[in-house]
């Protein structure tokens, strides 16, 4: 142990989407792809879907910079479940006194508000439907797109919430080939930066079931940005109201779209599991 370095961290989860959180304000650490993969191993490491890093702010109007790495070591732009855990982490560790927190991500600024009962409200910002900004290979913006997979035609919507999403509406979420179809769409050439794939079953205009195949991860217990993407695509296709209950494998989120401000909000829980030290 004498020659090993140590790193303080917390383990948290948002609807069973689990994270390793590390702050680099009081401890110095450089994350390599190899080290992240080592830490993410569920048998020999901490085990997590994503690593979340708290950094000093890089913009004057923010409190922190928020970085996200998948378990394979690749950095991604956004994670809604992680954002809720991020908020509770910095407040629990007394890195901030305010319950309203502004953080910069890889490509946008989001606002996190800590509520009662371990809940956090996240202002996810404005949805982006322009294909070039998602990115998605199409010359025109549409509510529906389609492509053939194994000679079967699939219809879907696309949107970016800082990260790319593809949303399919299905009749029965439990009879879908989530891993097979999700993997094909994730890696389809229509999506130059890959894509998160959501499978949505609509129960009513304010209640949906959702399963998400996350980019570079596979199916997870829940996905906050995926829930927001599904709702906003459903609204664009005139199938959902502006306030929707989303049931995922790991639990329930409430999604609200403010049409006047063009902002999408997510409310859900964030649970602290334990604090730890890892030697490397």
Check if CATH label 3.30.2290.10 holds for domain 131-261. no
Structure tokens at 96: 């901030």
∠ CA(227), CA(107), CA(167), 5° rounding? 25
Domain ranges across the chain: 6-110+270-279, 131-261
Within a 10 A sphere around the Cβ of 237, how many other Cβ atoms? 15
- The residues near 177 (Cβ < 8 Å, ≥ 6 apart) are none
Q: What is the pLDDT of residue 1?
A: 63
In tens digits, the chain (280 residues) has pLDDT values of 667 889 999 999 999 999 999 999 999 888 899 999 999 999 999 999 999 999 999 999 999 999 999 999 999 999 999 999 999 999 999 999 999 999 999 989 999 999 999 999 999 999 999 999 999 999 999 999 999 988 889 999 999 999 999 999 999 999 999 999 999 999 999 999 999 999 999 999 999 999 999 999 899 999 999 999 999 999 999 999 999 999 999 999 999 999 999 999 999 999 999 999 998 8
Structure tokens at 134: 């998602």
Q: What is the pLDDT of residue 2?
A: 67
Distances (CA, A) of 120 to 69, 220, 233: 21, 20, 23
- Report how far Cα 208 is from the mean position of its chain's Cα atoms: 18
Rg of the chain on CA atoms, in Å: 18
Same fold, 6-110+270-279 and 131-261: yes
Class of domain 6-110+270-279: alpha beta
Q: What is the pLDDT of residue 29?
A: 85
Annotate the chain with three-state secondary structure.
Answer: CCCCCEEEEEEEEECCEEEEEEECCCCCCCCCHHHHHHHHCCCCCCCCCEEEEEECCCCCCCCEEEEEEECCCCEECCCHHHHHHHHHHHHHCCCCCCCEEEEECCCCEEEEEECCCCEEEEECCCCECCHHHCCCCCCCCCCCEEEEECCEEEEEEEEECCCEEEEEECCCHHHCCHHHHHHHHHCCCCCCCCCEEEEEEEEECCEEEEEEEECCCEEECCCHHHHHHHHHHHHHCCCCCCEEEEEECCEEEEEEEECCCCEEEEEEECEEEEEEEEEC
Contact 279, 12 (CB under 8 A): no
Strand 50-55 to 17-23 pairing: parallel
**What whole-number distance in Å separates Cα of residue 277 and Cα of residue 280?**
10
Residues classed as catalytic: 79, 223
């Amino acid at each position: 142990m004498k020659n090993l370095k140590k790193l303080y961290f917390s383990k948290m989860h948002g609807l069973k989407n689990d994270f390793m959180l590390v702050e680099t304000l009081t401890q110095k650490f450089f994350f390599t792809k190899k080290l992240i993969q080592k830490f993410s191993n569920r048998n020999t490491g901490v085990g997590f879907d994503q690593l979340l890093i708290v950094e000093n702010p890089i913009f004057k109007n923010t409190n922190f910079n928020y970085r996200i790495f998948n378990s394979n070591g690749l950095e991604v732009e956004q994670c809604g479940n992680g954002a809720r855990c991020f908020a509770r982490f910095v407040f629990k560790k007394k890195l901030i006194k305010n319950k309203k927190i502004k953080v910069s991500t890889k490509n946008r600024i989001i606002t996190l508000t800590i509520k009662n009962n371990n809940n956090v409200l996240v202002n996810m910002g404005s949805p982006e439907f322009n294909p070039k900004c998602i990115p998605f290979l199409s010359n025109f913006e549409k509510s529906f797109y389609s492509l053939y997979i194994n000679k079967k035609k699939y219809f879907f919507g696309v949107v970016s919430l800082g990260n790319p999403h593809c949303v399919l509406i299905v009749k029965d979420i439990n009879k879908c080939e989530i891993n097979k179809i999700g993997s094909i769409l994730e890696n389809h050439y229509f999506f130059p930066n890959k894509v998160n794939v959501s499978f949505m079953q609509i129960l009513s205009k304010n209640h949906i079931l959702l399963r998400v195949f996350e980019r570079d991860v596979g199916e997870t217990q829940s996905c906050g940005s995926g829930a927001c993407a599904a709702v906003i695509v459903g609204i664009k296709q005139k199938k959902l109201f502006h306030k929707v209950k989303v049931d995922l494998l790991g639990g329930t989120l409430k999604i609200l779209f403010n049409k006047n401000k063009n902002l999408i909000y997510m409310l859900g829980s964030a649970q602290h599991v334990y604090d730890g030290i890892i030697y490397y």
